[in-house]
Structure 1
Amino acid sequence: MTTVYDFTVKDTKGEDVSLEKYKGKVLLIVNTATKCGFTPQYDGLEDLYKKYKDQGFEILDFPCNQFANQAPEDISEINGICEMKFGTSFDRFDKIDVNGDNADPLYVYLKEEKPGKTGKAIKWNFTKFLVDKNGQVVGRYGSTKKPENIAKDIEKLLAE
């Protein structure tokens, strides 16, 4: 059986990171952009992270430039924007594609496990996938779902 722990992604320095490093934690995996109408959700994501990180919660941030060129910067510029403007402290990874022929294998898996209401494709920036402590994808939330409105689902998984 496949879980998110079976995938390896690139960190912001281009180094391989096995997601097995997050085994036993509740994860929120998000495709992000710095110039999107939903970019202020970084504040809500950081609030969630601060509130639950000591209970075994992690946010995995995957910048993506596939939606209206809203993440045009290189990864070091994205890091600077996220840290300086939004004060993010959760893990960020290298820019990826989430749809199409070059979609990152992790996102191919996430979309297979939890298709959206209109199909598998990611519709926009800040689509969120919730993963339980066993590495299973248990929730998918569209861009309009604010991070604070996912808190109860996170709390339920942390309590299991």
Structure 2
Amino acid sequence: MSHHAYALPVLAVATLTSTGCGTAVPDCAASGTTETARQIVSNTVEETFQQSRNQFEHLADSFDKTLEPEVDTIQYRLENIRTREFDEASQRYACTATLAATMNGREETQELRYTSQHNAEGEHYVEIQGLTEQRIGELLTVAFREGAE
């Protein structure tokens, strides 16, 4: 059995609704921040899975497991949200949270780093850091069920 470690950094970003001048940057635990971060993770995992489906199916088979067909039904939530720092000059929050991925009673967790700030247009801008292909693969293990077909 061969395992490949990937260290491709994935920088996933999204902007949320426009905000007016002088509006405070949503902090790490704000619903707009956490929902956007959760959606970025979901979209990134889904896109990576679709691009590398054969690799994930082979990996599942090597563990005598079957890959669930509906990876898009994995549920993601952020827990234990922490503010690592707030940069007053750039009005930017650096955040850490525990990302939990669940599917059919199986769960995988890992630490997630993200930022919350406004972009030049005044929109809420959330950026996920370090979501590598290897980390995405670890999240996708919740889609492995017992027994190869």
Q: Is TM (by shorter chain) over 0.5?
A: no
Structure with the higher helix share, 1 or 2: 1
Q: Which has the larger radius of gyration?
A: 2
TM (norm. structure 1) is 0.27
